[in-house]
Structure 1
Amino acid sequence: MTSDTVINILILILYIGMMVGMGIYSIRHTKTVDGFLLGGRGLGPWLSAFAYGTSFFSAVIFIGYAGKNGWNLGISAVWIGIGNAVIGCLLSWLVLAKRTRAMTHKLGSRTMPEFFGSRYNDNGMKIFCALIIFVFLTPYAASVYMGLSYLFSAVFPAVDYIWWMVIMAVLTALYLSLGGYVATVLTDFVQGIIMIIGIVFVVYFVLSSDVVDGLKNGLQSLSQIPKDGSNLTSPFGGQNWFNLLSLLVLTSLGTWGLPQMVHKFYTIKDNKSIKQAAVISTLFALLIGGSAYFIGAFARLFLGNQVPAEGFDAVMPLMLNKALPAVMMGVLLVLILSASMSTLSSVVMTSSSSIAIDLVKGKYAPDMSEKDTVGLMRILCVVFVGLSFAIAAFKPKEIITLMSFSWGTLAGTFLGPYLWGLYSKKITRIGAWSGMVLGFLTSIVPAVVSGFNAQYAPTFGMVAMIVSIIITPLVSRYTPKYKDDFIKGIFD
């Protein structure tokens, strides 16, 4: 075993110890459902901003999206990172956070399905949303495991990646079931610091490598690579501009309708903190997202313009293994692991709460005590982690392919009814259902017809979100309105 390998293992052990410690420390905050799921609704701007930002970027974004789209779009892929920061963070906080915090407080909503059920006075809508969340977040969580497997294999080639996945699954289940949301935000803050330091080093080593030899020479080398008639240094994607636009909208506007992202608005303590969190999360996303897509654009130079046999998910790990010193791979591993663990914890928390609160307690056991509800959520956290791990380990093609469409399907289902439900008193129950169902079908039906071709997932997701936003108020205009007393109770 080399000294570099020993150092990488020690870095990993320190990271694991920190996360377990955070879980144990946070146990005292998890006695009630609000404490376990929302952290008591009293989190400050820094914790909230880092929780939002680290949940945004995982192995799926850093390894999958940045590698594939940096390869296909070249330097113009950086626009996706900029869009993530401006639309996915800044505008999301400024447009949604204040209204979401106020309305969920008033309605006593702790999950997105609960919000829909109370806002539209429809228990069936709550159950429908809970099932959609569970079905489509499961493959998303599995994809995070799979993205990390390539990185672990690059850093520790002698150990089968399945054992590292076991460690990550046990770690996630342990600290999340112990400390709930408080453990998540505390570790997110530390993970965010790690990500900031790590990405600065990664960009430096990529640009200063002999292969790239500085930004100017790197761009010149990229411009000499022919790619479907498009220059990889084209500022706006060249002939691939529509694909660039679809990806930007999907990964930026899509966060407005994702339950694990919206959940962060429920927990912030006051309106002043919202403005501060908006700025902090935007700067964080600009650095992490912009840098990830930026370095992904140079992958062709490191890999001889040949896509790896393992596919696009292996692009970033193989490139960075060539670009970074051996000891830096441990830092990179913790960087990607930090991004992925924060995303996993958000997804697990969202899915377990949708089943425990919205389905079991909401439909079958309305008199369940706080203690039993928290206990059920802890059990479901472990179950969900195990299910996601099993999918990632066995890699059934149909379910993993579904992951490519999960982001757009969730956002397309929820975005219209959620956004309009916050701002408009004229949205009806039928209008909300129409936006949900047609947004869902707009993503799923074309996916089935195309044979779940992941190439079209961004376009289908973008169109689904647009359909949801348009259909919800349009149908509401011609369908029966809620009584004034009900609307007054919602918006006063």
Structure 2
Amino acid sequence: MQQVITWAVLAVYLAAMLTAGIVGAKKANTLTNFVVGGRKAGPWVSAFGFGTAYFSAVLFIGYAGKSGYDFGLWAILIGVGNAAFGAFLAWKVLGNRTREVTRRLKIKTMPQFFEKRFDCKGLKIFAVIIIFIFMTPYSASVYSGLGYLCDNVLKIGYNNAMILIAVVAAIYVVLGGFVSSMIADFIQGLIMIVGVVAMIFCIANAPEVGGFVEGFAKMGDIMSQNGLYPPTMKTIVGVGSLIILTSFGTWGMPQMVQKFYGIETKEGVKRATIISTAFAALISCGAYFVGSLSRLFFTQVPQDVSGKANYDLIIPQILGRLPDILLAVILVLVLAASVSTLSGITLTSCSAVAMDFIVSVFKPDMDRKKTLLLTRVLCLLFIICSYLLATMKSPILTLMAFSWGTICATLLPSYLLGLYWKRFNRTASIWSMCTGLLTSLGLAIFSGFQSGNAPLFGIIATAVSFLTCFIVTMVTKPHEDNTEFFLEAAEESSSN
């Protein structure tokens, strides 16, 4: 009976995604519409698009399970940080400025931003390479997270589950690009809200928990017995590192930044800020709340078939205790979160490769229709490559943490300072990107790619990259004409 209910709910979801793909395909008939939706997105669609791209199976299966088991109730603070810094502050600092600049200068991708800001085609190509190389394992981690859940709940096999994800993503990303993604993200955002609320109340009322009050009391005792209360320096550093990485790390993620490109009005940015913050608070705090109760369900970390402790199994095994219909809804919740993130990563990576690398370097005379077709083909190939990488069953947090930290360290300082600091120059950007990349990779190699250190390493690499920006900028002379970039734009009407 469980299988029938679950597959019925999945069928409804798949039908909705197919509809989004078909509707989007009719409107995504130009390159601008396919990549940035014609820059006509409203606040609700933009906010939900940002939120659904932010949170995926990596949160629900990876971070929530491991952080909850390691830190107990302190893990909820990570969700609070995501809402305050990853959503609210990101929209306040980046939202309108990014929208205004990219709209006025007709920028469609983050690599194009670097070229326009620093008048350097080499920086654009370097950014494309970084995005493509490190976004691939990032997207593979999305596959892996949902694969574990489907394998435990649907019993359809890890690889079969990932094929399902790939098919759903391909349906609407390849057909309708950004337009379909906006429609799908709004639908998936509603699914995530319903699913998280249901998950919170069902897990809180499970026999192992006994309700909110009793559950918190039980966790207080367990945390005291395991040295988690009062918090030790290890706990403070661990939680703090995750707050910084998962909150500020999104500021430099191309698929997140690109959500600002398509929003239509300045007023829409203000409304989207509130909506996005509320959405992030519910989704992230809800996921970490469930993860924080994991020690009430397990006395030790669950083991995989090889007998090795696997944190990625914590949440799937907890959710496996829910009633059939609620389990089906929550499964679709994680599927929706994963597919929306995957679609954002795919569209961002492939549009950058198509426009800013292949066309820019090898085929500068390629017309827009052929470029649009090339972008669609690359989207399909990217989804397939990510699937193949995920079949290797690499630990989800290892894939996610190191790729996220590397992208953040390489791109965020140059992007953020490039938006606001007129004196910041091309030389400083080049040095910053190189030191951020080398520091992140060096620390990863030194640690043997142990995911437990990845958040701290990502922060260190980003700090080194920022420091490089300031030092090199102050010891070199500005050598770009930034007049056009820093013009105060009048209110636009229909510029693309």
User: In the superposition, relative to structure 1, how do residues 229 and 170 fare at CA in structure 2: closer, same or farther (>3 Å)?
Assistant: closer
| Separation in structure 2 between the aligned mates of residue 276 and residue 411 of structure 1, nearest angstrom | 27
Q: How does 1:29-178 map to 2 (within 5 A)?
A: 29-157=27-155, 159-178=156-175
Matched residue SS, 1:489: coil
Amino acid across the alignment from 1:101? R
TM-score between both structures, scaled by the size of structure 1: 0.95
- Name which of structure 1's ranges 387-396 and 73-82 shifts more when overlaid on structure 2: 387-396
Q: Pick one of 211, 214, 235 that aligns with 1:214.
A: 211
- Name which of structure 1's ranges 129-138 and 310-319 shifts more when overlaid on structure 2: 310-319
Q: How does 1:350-429 map to 2 (within 5 A)?
A: 350-395=348-393, 401-429=398-426
Query: Are 1:292 and 2:290 counterparts?
Result: no
1:200 maps to which residue? 197
- Following superposition, the deviation at residue 226 of structure 1 comes to 5.7
Question: Is this contact kept in 2: 1:356–1:380, CA < 8 A?
Answer: yes
| Separation in structure 2 between the aligned mates of residue 251 and residue 226 of structure 1, nearest angstrom | 24
Amino acid across the alignment from 1:373? T
| Separation in structure 2 between the aligned mates of residue 226 and residue 49 of structure 1, nearest angstrom | 36
- Following superposition, the deviation at residue 23 of structure 1 comes to 0.3
- Following superposition, the deviation at residue 441 of structure 1 comes to 1.7
Matched residue SS, 2:59: helix
2:493 maps to which residue? none
- Following superposition, the deviation at residue 394 of structure 1 comes to 3.0
Q: Tell me the alpha carbon deviations over residues 165-200 of structure 1, each in whole angstroms, 9 at most, x when there is no partner.
A: 212212211211101111011111011111101111
| Separation in structure 1 between the aligned mates of residue 75 and residue 276 of structure 2, nearest angstrom | 20
1:460 maps to which residue? 457
Q: Tell me the alpha carbon deviations over residues 251-287 of structure 1, each in whole angstroms, 9 at most, x when there is no partner.
A: 0011111111000111110110001000000000000
Amino acid across the alignment from 1:312? Y
Q: How does 1:5-16 map to 2 (within 5 A)?
A: 5-16=3-14
| Separation in structure 1 between the aligned mates of residue 477 and residue 105 of structure 2, nearest angstrom | 22
Amino acid across the alignment from 2:312? D
Amino acid across the alignment from 2:392? F
Query: Are 1:261 and 2:256 counterparts?
Result: yes
2:303 maps to which residue? 308
1:191 maps to which residue? 188
Matched residue SS, 1:491: coil
Matched residue SS, 2:64: helix
- Following superposition, the deviation at residue 225 of structure 1 comes to 2.5
Q: How does 1:430-441 map to 2 (within 5 A)?
A: 430-441=427-438
Question: Is this contact kept in 2: 1:73–1:237, CA < 8 A?
Answer: no
Amino acid across the alignment from 2:413? G
Question: Is this contact kept in 1: 2:424–2:469, CA < 8 A?
Answer: yes
TM-score between both structures, scaled by the size of structure 2: 0.94
User: In the superposition, relative to structure 1, how do residues 239 and 461 fare at CA in structure 2: closer, same or farther (>3 Å)?
Assistant: closer
User: In the superposition, relative to structure 1, how do residues 374 and 441 fare at CA in structure 2: closer, same or farther (>3 Å)?
Assistant: same
- Following superposition, the deviation at residue 62 of structure 1 comes to 1.2
Question: Is this contact kept in 2: 1:5–1:327, CA < 8 A?
Answer: no
Amino acid across the alignment from 2:286? S
1:249 maps to which residue? 244
- Following superposition, the deviation at residue 299 of structure 1 comes to 1.0
Amino acid across the alignment from 2:241? S
User: In the superposition, relative to structure 1, how do residues 306 and 123 fare at CA in structure 2: closer, same or farther (>3 Å)?
Assistant: closer
Amino acid across the alignment from 1:65? Y
Matched residue SS, 1:87: helix
Amino acid across the alignment from 1:288? I
- Following superposition, the deviation at residue 480 of structure 1 comes to 2.7
Q: Tell me the alpha carbon deviations over residues 298-346 of structure 1, each in whole angstroms, 9 at most, x when there is no partner.
A: 1111123443336000100101112x11221111110000100000000
Matched residue SS, 1:225: helix
Amino acid across the alignment from 2:259? K
Q: How does 1:19-30 map to 2 (within 5 A)?
A: 19-30=17-28
- Name which of structure 1's ranges 123-132 and 218-227 shifts more when overlaid on structure 2: 218-227
Query: Are 1:446 and 2:432 counterparts?
Result: no
Question: Is this contact kept in 2: 1:142–1:400, CA < 8 A?
Answer: no
Q: Tell me the alpha carbon deviations over residues 375-401 of structure 1, each in whole angstroms, 9 at most, x when there is no partner.
A: 00000000000000111123368x984
Matched residue SS, 1:487: coil
| Separation in structure 1 between the aligned mates of residue 301 and residue 171 of structure 2, nearest angstrom | 40
Question: Is this contact kept in 2: 1:230–1:239, CA < 8 A?
Answer: no
| Separation in structure 2 between the aligned mates of residue 366 and residue 9 of structure 1, nearest angstrom | 47
User: In the superposition, relative to structure 1, how do residues 75 and 448 fare at CA in structure 2: closer, same or farther (>3 Å)?
Assistant: same
Amino acid across the alignment from 1:91? L
- Following superposition, the deviation at residue 227 of structure 1 comes to 7.6
User: In the superposition, relative to structure 1, how do residues 229 and 204 fare at CA in structure 2: closer, same or farther (>3 Å)?
Assistant: closer
The share of aligned pairs that are identical, in percent, is 42
Q: Tell me the alpha carbon deviations over residues 346-396 of structure 1, each in whole angstroms, 9 at most, x when there is no partner.
A: 000011112101100111111111100100000000000000011112336
The number of aligned residues is 483
5+ unaligned residues in a row in structure 2: which ranges? 488-496
- Following superposition, the deviation at residue 156 of structure 1 comes to 1.5
1:469 maps to which residue? 466
